[in-house]
């Protein structure tokens, strides 16, 4: 499994990304993070991956190739667990989340890919 995590900081706020990640995994609410339009994000993912089988309301499976993913949300975050998904699929998910101004935090590295990480 490969984990992708997304959130958006409120203006002028930047916190320790690893601490934010750990708190979000525990489903804690974090001061300084924006509340996300979760339903809109899920609908956007579903439309981009409309050729994939929607296993349940938060999981998709690629019947034409490799991979599956599950979307786990809190009001402030979107976590996507990828199972055998190809890099280009993960890049599509990252692009969708960038539309909502939520850059990728990759806990495996760990690094957040935003303008503050240069």
pLDDT tens, 23-60? 999 999 999 999 999 999 999 999 999 999 999 999 99
Percentage of the chain with pLDDT > 70? 98
Task: Give the β-pairing of 104-106 and 111-112.
Answer: antiparallel
Mean pLDDT score of the chain? 96
Q: Give dist(CA 38, CA 1) in Å, integer.
A: 23
Can you give the pLDDT at residue 24? 97
pLDDT tens readout for residues 67-78: 999 999 999 999
Query: What integer is the mean pLDDT of 12-29?
Result: 96
- Say if pTM beats, i.e. exceeds, 0.85: yes
Can you give the pLDDT at residue 115? 78
CATH homologous superfamily of 2-114 = Sporulation inhibitor of replication protein SirA (3.30.310.250)
Can you give the pLDDT at residue 117? 60
Phi-psi region of 102 (alpha: psi -120 to 50; beta: other; left: phi over 0): beta
Can you give the pLDDT at residue 58? 96
Question: Computed from CA positions of residues 20, 23, 92, 81, in that sequence, does the dihedral angle turn out positive or negative?
Answer: positive
Q: Where are the domains of the chain?
A: 2-114
């Amino acid at each position: 499994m490969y984990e992708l995590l997304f959130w958006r900081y409120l203006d002028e706020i930047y916190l320790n990304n690893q601490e934010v990640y750990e708190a979000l995994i525990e489903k804690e609410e974090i001061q300084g993070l924006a509340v996300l339009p979760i339903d809109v994000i899920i609908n956007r993912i579903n439309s981009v991956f409309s050729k994939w089988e929607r296993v349940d309301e938060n999981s998709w499976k690629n019947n034409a190739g490799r991979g599956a993913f599950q979307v786990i949300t809190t009001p402030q975050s979107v976590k996507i667990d990828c199972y055998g998904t190809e890099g280009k699929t993960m890049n599509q998910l990252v692009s969708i989340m960038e539309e909502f101004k939520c850059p990728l935090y990759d806990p495996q590295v760990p690094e957040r890919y935003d303008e503050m990480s240069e």
